Chains A and B, each alone.
Chain A
Amino acid sequence: MIRNRNLPFAATVLVFAGIYLLCVLQFPTMLSFRVAGNLLTDNAFLGVAAVGMTFVILSGGIDLSIGAVIAFTSVFVAVLVRAGVHPAVAFALALTLSTAFGAVMGMTIHYLAMPAFVVTLAGMFLARGAAFLITTDSVPISHEFLDMLKSLYIQLPGKGRLTFIGMVMLATFVIGMVLAHRTRFGANVYALGGSQQSSELMGVPAAATTVRLYALSGFLAGLAGLVYTLYTSAGYSLATVGVELDAIAAVVVGGTLLSGGSGLVLGTLFGVFIQGLIQTYIVFDGSLSSWWTKIAIGILLFVFIVLQRATLLLPRRSGKAVAFTPIPRGG
């Protein structure tokens, strides 16, 4: 039996299955390992970043900096590799930097009691500006190490491929699910999103959780940047403008409550897939304006917000506070 709180997630899966079915009815080739593999590869950077966004939104916050951090990371790595640094070292440096960047934003949000919106907006400008400062050109990179990573793919039937970055995304989701649903940190994040005051009364360490939360989001944005670098073999400071909004859309369409406290990490994966599927459909059709993607996502977002409101307001069977309910199982 589907519990009330998981209703949005069930709706997400249903929407995904419905859209896929409609797509396949019109274009039978869309039901292939090739398209499935593409869905994973093409949305890998968005998926990785969206996992971080899920945690942030679960806690009742928001992180607008991730698109800019992705671009910064990709430029940073590309320039370092061009200068002769081994990619593995550049990757480690980039991840350290983006994690620290997230942690500092988390500290600002908590200790200065600033709205996450404003702090991460500043972070967005900062990271984008820094990327432009490094270079405004698109910097191609090639290195044996990167070629080796790219050669780590699993051949699927029908010329489909589960690429390395696709695997990175799936792994990120698995780890994210464990972190959210099976650890103390995850429980604290849910509690924080329910209500900060009552969670503090319950003894949830708000400071440590907030800082770790934004550090995690920064880390995952950095990782998404590395995935993007592998995806295009280049760093470009103008890249991934607005990806933070796509990630927020994926999280909300994935069934997470925008005000925090309720949702599943796995839902976000389906949120990402739904966006990717609509884009794929538009490419297959070839005559629709690509802006239909935005319109469809806009409508889905609206539907989900209304749905969430309805499930919260209508049947309050399980007591009054969503925040105090146990951690959702699995995901």
Chain B
Amino acid sequence: MMKIVTRLAAASALSMLASTAFAASLTVGFSQIGSESGWRAAETTVTQNQAKERGIDLKFADAQQKQENQIKAVRGFIAQGVDAILIAPVVATGWDDVLKEAKEADIPVILLDRQIEAPDSLYLTAVTSDQVHEGKVAGDWLVKDVGAKPCKVVELQGTTGSSPAINRKKGFEQAIAGHSNITIARSQTGDFTRTKGKEVMESFIKAEGGGKDICAVYAHNDDMAVGAIQAIKEAGLKPGTDIKVVSIDAVPDIFLAMAAGEANATVELTPNMAGPAFDALEAYLKDKKAPAKWIQTESKLYTQADDPKAVYDAKKGLGY
């Protein structure tokens, strides 16, 4: 309480100054879901960095995984008269009313990272990745890497029924369709976790003649890939050479594995959703031209040739 009181006192003295000094710059409210994963924390950091670079005054509200908190935050932003609102929605439903209020107040809303079930006239645009495309990029890399040689792939799926698991599987299958030398021999869920990834990989290795027959492992996220690398090492094989490792997300740890030659490729789910969002917003505010309703973020492929150590160093400070 004391802290808040002193802050209040100091801030109220400053507020006069502040309101004149930054009169020209944009104020943007950002309602974040929470910080449930490393990626989410990185998204927050990147958003704050992006805002700082552009001289945007970012009002940040962490919803602690609760939609009611997000709605409250958005209402608060509207009452404050911010210039725009970014929302990373915790669920797909229940946004119509508060978005209508934002629209009536003429405040553009941009969705980050997830889509919602509401008429698309209620928001300016949504910035998300394309999960099918992510799987496809991973698959394309493998197709190129193995060439015409036969290749038996084992797949570590995400949580059964989750949309990234379904979509990343679909994209990968699209990429290898028409390349009969590449087959998916086994596919099982590793629940997006390291321990489950390791366990499932161990059983794959046992089932496939001690792992000699496996040419590559495709994991729906990096964490499972890191687990799989461990399992491969324990089976006496060399990950990255005996069994190729390709996964999705591009979290810092996979770059360490890549630098050590133990992982081959990863597809980035960029935490920089705010960059494209701010670009679209600034363009919109400048000449009132509405962007497309969906902005797809780049699903960048990283391989051992991309100086993984440097990427690791750049990423490790983001809060992953």
Contact = CB atoms under 8 A, between A and B. Distances in A.
Contacts of B94: 138, 140, 231-234, 236
B117 A34 contact: no
Interface in A138-188: 138-140, 150, 159
A286 B58 contact: yes
B93 A159 contact: no
B109 interface: no
Contact of B117 (A45, A140, A279, A292): A140
A32 interface: yes
A276 B73 CA distance: 11
Interface string A291-326: 110001001100000000000000000000000000
A231 B72 CA distance: 11
B61 A42 contact: no
Interface stretch (A21-29, A211-219, A264-272): A21-29
A240 B64 CA distance: 12
Contact of A291 (B4, B12, B64, B77): B64
B62 A32 contact: no
Contact of A25 (B8, B64, B93): B8
Given A34-B79, A286-B60, A290-B62, A232 B5 contact: no
Contacts of A282: 61
B104 to A, nearest CB: 8
Contact of A22 (B8, B58, B72, B104): B8
B174 interface: no
Interface string A60-96: 0000000000000000000000000000000000000
Interface in A179-230: 228
B71 A29 contact: no
B76 A38 contact: yes
Q: Is the interface of A mostly helix, strand, loop or mixed?
A: helix
Contacts of B1: 296, 299-300
Contact of B71 (A30, A34, A35, A231): A231
Interface string B80-113: 1100000000011110110000001100000000
A109 to B, nearest CB: 29
A285 B59 CA distance: 7
B237 to A, nearest CB: 39
B68 interface: yes
A283 B76 contact: yes
A150 B5 CA distance: 38
B68 A240 contact: yes
Given A26-B8, A41-B75, A286-B60, A233 B68 contact: no
B289 to A, nearest CB: 27
A140 B14 CA distance: 44
B159 to A, nearest CB: 13
B93 A236 contact: yes
Contact of A286 (B5, B29, B75, B93): B29
Interface string A32-57: 10110010011001000000000000
B15 interface: yes
Interface of B: 1, 4-5, 7-8, 11-12, 15, 29, 57-64, 66-69, 71-73, 75-81, 91-94, 96-97, 104-105, 117
Interface of A: 22-23, 25-27, 29-30, 32, 34-35, 38, 41-42, 45, 138-140, 150, 159, 228, 231-234, 236, 239-241, 276, 279-292, 296, 299-300
Given A232-B67, A233-B97, 5 more contacts: A25-B12, A240-B68, A283-B29, A284-B76, A290-B69
Q: Lowest 7 CB-CB distances: which A-B pairs, in order?
A: A286-B59, A232-B94, A283-B76, A234-B93, A234-B94, A140-B93, A290-B62
